[in-house]
Amino acid sequence: MVFSNNPIIIHENLLVSPQSSTQLSLPLTFLDLFWLRFHPVERIFFYSLPNHSHDPSFFFNNIVPNLKTSLSLTLQSFLPLAGNIIWPSHLPKPIIQYNPGDAVSFVVAESNVDFNHVLQNSPRDASESRFLLPNLDSSDSTASVVSMQVTLFPKKGFSIGISAHHAVVDGKSSTMFINAWANMCRSSVEECPSFYLKPELEPFFDRDVIKDPTQLDLLLADNWTKDPNDATKKKRSLEILSFVFKPKVENSVRATFKITFKDLDKLKKRLLSKWNEVVNDDEVVNDSCSKPDTLSSFVAICAYVSTCMARAIQEDEKNEQKKFAFGFAVDCRSRLEPKVPENYFGNCVNLHVVDAKPEDFTKEDGFVIVAKKILSKTKNLDKDGVLEGMDTLSSKHETRVRLGVELIGVAGSSRFRVYENDFGWGKPSKVEITSVDRGLSIGISENKDEKGGLEVGLVLKKNVMDIFTNLFHEGL
């Protein structure tokens, strides 16, 4: 076969079914409905082939069949992933529906790109990763929940690209499924097959644990029916808003930055040393922003990377004063009353935006200001409630857009332990949160090479990435 201008060829378009006769319907909660037409969560796991497995036949005759069989077995415990989101005319909000025979799209492909090139952390064309991801179908009437693409890099390795609908899974749920699939596949490869999941990987689907006394679910469902160009018109649609969340890959590069435990310690000490020196104009002295004894790696890295990004963008566009905000998702499972089980499968996160001034991110002491704001926001979650402000999130975001404020977001978490997903041929050589290219986002995972460190994935315009890289390394 000839690759021509496309760096991949498709060998097979398959459907993998859970082989279950059970029918299942799940309502979408208000925590799901917030993400109803958002872009999918997209990840790519890269695996190096063992030395004895460089013959392509090993990939097609061993790896692919094992991945398919274990996926089918795993889906039996995760039936919603094989189903679809639908919106029946007699229901006020969409549901997830699995019918026997429903299946997951599973693409088998091959790439002519150098595998060592895609494993590089240094900047590379942001569009390259897009060829390694499957499409996730959506239309007015239905939306697929998850799709897979397995791509061979001959004699070197392979990748597993996963696209998952954000209205069905949050980061914790999606990584729980991937972990379950990896465990199932590894046990088969090691010839000690186990068809039972560990208790912590058994998904909990009961939506009754998500309390919604104000019927926020109906408000959010109704909001999605409104025509953005004409408020008097309404239309039910499940189609992902691709024109809003289109990947921003033109003239852009993708890079990964490794932060060691020592780097993080330096950043935390620098923040604490300046904590009482830097006082923002609108800062109110209270317990939530008083100097802490310690700082989390999350606060330190989010403040540092977001301010480096803002300064790089500002420096690139010298003639225009840019405005920024920072948003992050909070896992609500342990913060709701009553608490939600840790293995709850669905969305149980709420987006929070730090209330810093938009210009604070580019100030000389922006790193400290933003860190204080993030810490204050996290401390106030228990006081104000983790779901506080969810009913006005969309309207506030629309206001920020009108005011020209760019929201820097976060995807992933070091707690997900993505580098532990061994399907039977070794742990990942690299894990990438590809969907950070759909906005101004920071992809975070644990550092593959060092305990206590972090990895940060970014997509930026090439010249902005050059400036960011200099700022990032100078600051460390």
Give domain limits for the chain.
Answer: 8-234, 252-475
Active-site option among 125, 331, 422, 466: 422
CB 96 within 8 A of CB 35: no
The tokens for 324 are: 């920024």
On the question of pLDDT at 284 being above 70, the answer is no
The CA distance from 60 to 376, in Å, is 52
What would the pLDDT profile of 204-247 be if each residue is shown by its tens digit?
A: 999 999 999 899 999 999 999 987 677 678 899 999 998 889 99
Q: Is 422 a catalytic residue?
A: yes
461-472 in b/e burial notation, b at 16+ Cβ within 10 A?
Answer: beebbebbbebb
Between CA 119 and CA 122 the distance in angstroms is 9
Select which of 39, 165, 166, 352 is catalytic. Answer: 166
* Range 8-234 has CATH code 3.30.930.10: no
Say if 8-234 and 252-475 have the same CATH topology: yes
**Of 223-227, 404-408, 425-429, the least confident:** 223-227
Q: What is the pLDDT of residue 149?
A: 98
C-alpha 102 chain-centroid distance: 25
- Residue 166 known to be catalytic: yes
pLDDT (tens digit per residue) in 182-209: 999 999 888 776 667 889 999 999 999 9
Cα angle for residues 379, 446, 170 (degrees, 5° grid): 65
Question: How many residues in the chain?
Answer: 476
Task: Note the pLDDT of residue 5.
Answer: 61
| Tally of CA atoms within 13 A in the half-sphere of 255 that contains its CB | 18
Res. 286: pLDDT tops 60: no
- Among 21-30, 117-126, 222-231, 364-373, the range scoring the smallest mean pLDDT is 222-231
- CATH superfamily of the 252-475 domain: Chloramphenicol acetyltransferase-like domain (3.30.559.10)
User: Which of 16, 37, 6 lies closest to 148 in space, CA to CA?
Assistant: 16
Closest CA relative to residue 137, chosen from 220, 40, 25: 40
Return the exposure string of 28-54: e unless at least 16 CB atoms fall within 10 Å of the residue's CB, then b.
bbbbbbbbbbbbbbbbbbbbbbeeebe
Q: Which pLDDT belongs to residue 146?
A: 98
Give the global pTM.
Answer: 0.95
405-412/440-446 β-pairing: parallel
Above 50 in pLDDT, residue 2? no
3-state DSSP call for residue 448?
A: coil
Q: How many Cβ atoms from other residues are within 10 Å of residue 89's Cβ?
A: 5
